[in-house]
Amino acid sequence: MKILLAIAPDRFLDQEYTVPKSALEEKGITCVTASTIKGTCYGMHGEIVESDLAFDDVSPDEYDGLVVVGGIGCQDYLWRCEKLIDIANKIGSSGKLTAAICLAPVVFAEAGLLAGKNVTAFDTPASRRILELDRAILVNEPVVVAGKVVTAKMPRDSQAFADAILTNLA
């Protein structure tokens, strides 16, 4: 099994990346990290990650799921990243796992994957507006599972998010 982890090149939330990645790898799942660039990406709290691929080089059919990591960089770099939105649409529309935490569920809303679904996200005026415009139903829960879509609210929910992803993949 192979999962694509999508992060912003700058200011992704460290534990929202490291916790799910570690949990997946502990279960023998291959994790590939992608960003807007191939190369060095920087977390908000000092984590430095080398992305394996740029989004332009991702072939969505090679993956069993997509996990998008939040953080302020997500809003700045990923919300309007057409290539990532296209990847999310292809993976989600094929019935595979799509998981996002913090500000990242907006990417799935923009990909047309959340209409009519209960989701959670870090609630800001901007994230709420986009999620509601794209007809997602925003609920105030730490983790929400709606079929193959897993969303989580905050960094402190990273372990519960990882657990929900693993349950969904099982």
pLDDT in tens, 59-82: 999 999 999 999 999 999 999 999
Give yes or no for a contact between 11 and 76, defined as CB atoms under 8 angstroms apart: yes
Residue with tokens 């969904």: 168
**Domain interval for residue 164:** 2-169
Cα atoms found within 13 Å of the Cα of residue 144, Cβ hemisphere only: 20
**pLDDT recorded at residue 71:** 96
Distance CA 83, CA 27 (A): 29
Give yes or no for a contact between 54 and 36, defined as CB atoms under 8 angstroms apart: yes
The domain spanning residue 74 has which CATH number? 3.40.50.880
Q: What rounded mean pLDDT belongs to the chain?
A: 97
51 φ/ψ angles, rounded to the nearest 5 degrees? -75, 140
Domain count of the chain?
A: 1
**pLDDT recorded at residue 90:** 98
For 140, other C-beta atoms within 10 Å of its C-beta total: 8
Query: What mean pLDDT do residues 146-150 have?
Result: 97
Quote the pTM value: 0.97
**pLDDT recorded at residue 43:** 98
Nearest to 79 by CA among 109, 50, 119: 109
Nearest to 23 by CA among 141, 114, 150, 127: 150
Distance CA 41, CA 167 (A): 29
pLDDT band at 49 (very low <50, low <70, confident <90, very high): very high
